[in-house]
Structure 1
């Protein structure tokens, strides 16, 4: 195992954290020429270092953390020359190991490729000289040949994430920066300033949270619903940062104003090298590259083994080689819903129903493109293991649209009691799907009449949401929290009014119950008196005689018998003659 070369400016104990960046690794694989002496400045992920090693003949990396340098040495071994220290101490190492740097006396510098994708913020230590951003760039230029390929990153102070970050300024930047350069007057803060500060001809990319790279020219012409805007929104939605509001609406507003390249997380400059592709993005388990054309985009997808074992899987072969450059269906539907144009919404839904057909490719209105009078699939490669019925594909697409419409708190003309299966079924009927006959509910919490018809579509939509949408964020945005709080406050007020009405009703019923109770007590007293009088009557001799007399049905026979008895008794009383 090779040893770490330590130069001035090393920091220990220290660790500069880096994230895995497959998109940037794909870009480096395209722009780095083969078999060139390469210098990597600053902390980079092992994936990026592997991408550089695969194309370069001799690679040297400079990191300011000694512990990071030792870890890199253990990981890559002798194929990577690791230097621990600061940028200003790099030249002094030539006196220690001149064979490593090969500094020539005629001023020709050794490195033909310089990769500083992390930028120039983390290349100095706590005992380094206080170099401004311009002075650091000059030091980088002195280490490279005039025609060297340079890949340089720059964090954007005006990024959408930075603008919407709800944390105070002193909590946004951690120790991994050490000395932030945000107050450096020489530091570029816009695309034009960055382009003007570079001493080499360069192509600039807008980097959206290390998930998507878009050429600044293409980003400037992108509008809401276009491919670069959709990918930028998806990239920033996946970042778990405490925000004031969701980035979707501000990003679409920036795209509408042509300012999308002004608000990315950072910029990336590729100098002295051709840029074969306009756009790089993470697509499923692979990286998708796209080149802008007059009519849309030409796509290239990394070949991966299709994963078709679950409910949904990724198949790179279904991604079209040419994608139109128009708006997504979802953008048009959102616009029609916000304008309360129900006839226009119904017309578009009917056209979608006629266009859809049985297929393995899952329908997503956020990735289906409006292409004139018809529609076209976008860059999505998510499919089902087997062909799915057209009605189920439409159900899954409308269920996903329903979640994005309602959860995004977007305006729409439908009443709130239609939210859920009933609203999705309404859209399905607009698309020409025959619905089941609705049946009345038999209990308060019985599933809707359309639940069974939407069951498979719900499974597809849920599985697609798992692989496409970011998981539940630890820090939901403040606007959503405030909206939820207002809704909860309104519901609380309504419930309090409902409780007051119930209490008033219960009060009236309590008084009525007391009145009834008093009346029942009076009736019970009268019943007791009547029962006592009745018992007295029943115990009298007259009542007994009356009951016995009542048993005789023929009074004449009774009277004749009584006369006979009286006669017999009278005869007994007469004296004998």
Structure 2
């Protein structure tokens, strides 16, 4: 175990927790030089510290938490010099590499001076050599995730996240102010939820549906923050205005060195890197095949070159909002022909329009077992259904045509004619869906689970309000339907009562008539009438008289 040094500003009991960020580790691996005397300022994840430690010659880490410092000293031993205290309490010779990837918000303690952001930067600059490589992060107050956060200000940070207030007038609040405030020439990256890092100039040039925008949406959707409205709408609006670099969760500056790639993004268990070219993106992905929920993460299926175009989902949503069904049908038919030999689980938000054809994006998820192309096509349409109908976007189809019916319609547009559904055997049993649609629904659900996006989390407030309004409308309609049924049942009940009274009256009359009939049949008059009746039927009186005389004589 290495010696633990304590300087002014240490905090105990205290801990600053930080999650591992593979995309940031990949960025630092490209940006940091090797065999340099290095200082790590602020809380960082253990894997990130280990990655920096493997490249540096002599590494010192400064954390304000004494308990965190003790754990680091016990874990890394003599390889790491651990200092517990505040930034303004550290006195040391200038370092050749300074890493402050957590920013300057969690570097001061209770005993530290009330330093502004500029004064903290000056203190950090004093610890860096003139030719040092400095990595510095800054949280963005104007981030889209911060603006859409539905929690009030007093609930966004707990007691274990002591941070200074961001009302400091010297604190940069834009990417240009951040670059101007630094004493070094810097390469800036937009940080989207610590899962995607895009070069600032590339992010500023990105438009809706393009690769940086799609990765920014996925990264922000994975953040565990309750939001007021869908993230994708805000990101697309910012990209349409050329402001994608203005709304990330933060920025990270690399000074004195230059990172190799324009884009670093966490995708599944691996990290995707991409470089902008005149015709598209040159991509590379690390990691091996990894199974998850019936799917496989298979990096080799990601194409080395991805066209620089918009996604199919953006085009479909635009056509649906414009109610241009013929153009939607035409595009769906082209997708059905193209998707016949797809090697991956299709996602229209990751399929790129490439001229008159299409191209796969950077999604590496495939099925474990061989799957019919119609099932993959159904999975893509079901995912599109959840993102179109679930977010209450405009479309030309009737509101009651949702679920399997709407997906089946889109499948038929793509050239897949599904069999008629089997009817239910009882009123409580729903009709069985076609096989392709049912399998596509399973694949879409499995894909949504492994992507770690907000699709499986709680809905945003706007969507929840729209769902509540739709439920309220359905409740009003159902109440009207129930009222109509109750009124009909009331009329039928009255009719049945009238019929019952009439039946009782007829039954009483029948009893009276039956009693009168029985009384008549028992009278002598009725008996005499019957004799007369039978006598009138005699056609040969002489024969009858002889027979009667014969019986009389016998008696």
Q: 294, 317, 321: which one pairs with 2:304?
A: 321
Which of these two proteins has the greater Rg computed from alpha carbons? 1
Q: Say whether the 8 Å CA contact 2:269–2:287 is kept in structure 1.
A: no
| Alignment correspondent of 2:344 | 361
Q: TM-score, normalised by structure 2?
A: 0.94
Aligned residue for 1:292, secondary structure, equals: strand
| Alignment correspondent of 1:188 | 172
Aligned residue for 2:251, secondary structure, equals: strand
Q: 380, 402, 409: which one pairs with 1:426?
A: 409
Which ranges in structure 2 are unaligned for 5 or more consecutive residues?
Answer: none
Deviations 1:378-433 (A, max 9, x none): 11111123443322222221122112111121111111232122222222222222
Against the structure 1 CA distance between its residues 448 and 417, is the aligned structure 2 distance closer, same or farther, given a 3 Å change threshold? farther
Matched, 1:248 2:226: no
| Alignment correspondent of 2:250 | 266
| Alignment correspondent of 1:29 | 29
Aligned residue for 1:418, secondary structure, equals: coil
How many angstroms apart in 2 are the aligned matches of 1:544 and 1:76?
127
User: What is the Cα deviation at residue 49 of structure 1?
Assistant: 0.7
How many angstroms apart in 2 are the aligned matches of 1:452 and 1:552?
85
User: What is the Cα deviation at residue 374 of structure 1?
Assistant: 1.1
Matched, 1:414 2:397: yes
How many angstroms apart in 2 are the aligned matches of 1:405 and 1:420?
11
Against the structure 1 CA distance between its residues 70 and 538, is the aligned structure 2 distance closer, same or farther, given a 3 Å change threshold? farther
How many angstroms apart in 2 are the aligned matches of 1:551 and 1:267?
122
Against the structure 1 CA distance between its residues 493 and 87, is the aligned structure 2 distance closer, same or farther, given a 3 Å change threshold? same
Aligned residue for 1:273, secondary structure, equals: coil
Against the structure 1 CA distance between its residues 240 and 545, is the aligned structure 2 distance closer, same or farther, given a 3 Å change threshold? farther
Deviations 1:38-79 (A, max 9, x none): 111111111211111121111111111111111112222221
Against the structure 1 CA distance between its residues 43 and 511, is the aligned structure 2 distance closer, same or farther, given a 3 Å change threshold? same
Q: Say whether the 8 Å CA contact 1:240–1:473 is kept in structure 2.
A: no
Matched ranges for 1:92-171 at <5 A = 101=92, 103=93, 109=94, 111-171=95-155
| Alignment correspondent of 1:67 | 67
Deviations 1:434-464 (A, max 9, x none): 3325677775566557522423323322222
Q: Say whether the 8 Å CA contact 1:17–1:176 is kept in structure 2.
A: no
Deviations 1:490-519 (A, max 9, x none): 111111211221122122212212211211
| Alignment correspondent of 1:236 | 220
Matched ranges for 1:251-330 at <5 A = 251-304=235-288, 306-307=289-290, 311-330=294-313
Aligned residue for 1:454, secondary structure, equals: helix
Deviations 1:234-275 (A, max 9, x none): 111122222221211111101100111111111111111111
Aligned residue for 1:417, secondary structure, equals: coil
| Alignment correspondent of 1:97 | none
Against the structure 1 CA distance between its residues 558 and 295, is the aligned structure 2 distance closer, same or farther, given a 3 Å change threshold? farther
| Alignment correspondent of 1:515 | 498
Against the structure 1 CA distance between its residues 554 and 80, is the aligned structure 2 distance closer, same or farther, given a 3 Å change threshold? same
| Alignment correspondent of 1:106 | none
Deviations 1:150-189 (A, max 9, x none): 1111111101111111222232233344242311111101
How many angstroms apart in 1 are the aligned matches of 2:266 and 2:535?
109
Q: Say whether the 8 Å CA contact 2:298–2:365 is kept in structure 1.
A: yes
How many angstroms apart in 1 are the aligned matches of 2:173 and 2:430?
55
| Alignment correspondent of 1:81 | 81
Against the structure 1 CA distance between its residues 547 and 89, is the aligned structure 2 distance closer, same or farther, given a 3 Å change threshold? farther
Against the structure 1 CA distance between its residues 516 and 507, is the aligned structure 2 distance closer, same or farther, given a 3 Å change threshold? same
Q: 297, 321, 335: which one pairs with 1:352?
A: 335
How many angstroms apart in 2 are the aligned matches of 1:474 and 1:371?
33
How many angstroms apart in 2 are the aligned matches of 1:22 and 1:90?
29
**More deviation in 155-164 or 360-369?**
360-369
Against the structure 1 CA distance between its residues 292 and 474, is the aligned structure 2 distance closer, same or farther, given a 3 Å change threshold? closer
What RMSD in Å do the two structures reach over aligned CA positions?
2.6
Matched, 1:500 2:483: yes
Q: Say whether the 8 Å CA contact 2:102–2:137 is kept in structure 1.
A: yes
Q: Say whether the 8 Å CA contact 1:225–1:327 is kept in structure 2.
A: yes
Aligned residue for 1:253, secondary structure, equals: helix
Which ranges in structure 1 are unaligned for 5 or more consecutive residues?
Answer: 92-100, 104-108, 573-577
How many angstroms apart in 2 are the aligned matches of 1:7 and 1:522?
106
Matched, 1:15 2:20: no
User: What is the Cα deviation at residue 308 of structure 1?
Assistant: 5.1
How many angstroms apart in 1 are the aligned matches of 2:125 and 2:551?
157
How many angstroms apart in 1 are the aligned matches of 2:312 and 2:488?
51
Q: 507, 511, 516: which one pairs with 1:524?
A: 507
Q: Say whether the 8 Å CA contact 1:359–1:388 is kept in structure 2.
A: no
Q: Say whether the 8 Å CA contact 1:436–1:450 is kept in structure 2.
A: no
| Alignment correspondent of 2:354 | 371
* Count of residues in Structure 1 that have an aligned counterpart in Structure 2: 555
How many angstroms apart in 2 are the aligned matches of 1:568 and 1:291?
132
Q: Say whether the 8 Å CA contact 1:120–1:153 is kept in structure 2.
A: yes
How many angstroms apart in 1 are the aligned matches of 2:133 and 2:166?
27
Q: TM-score, normalised by structure 1?
A: 0.90
Q: Say whether the 8 Å CA contact 1:133–1:184 is kept in structure 2.
A: yes
User: What is the Cα deviation at residue 345 of structure 1?
Assistant: 0.9
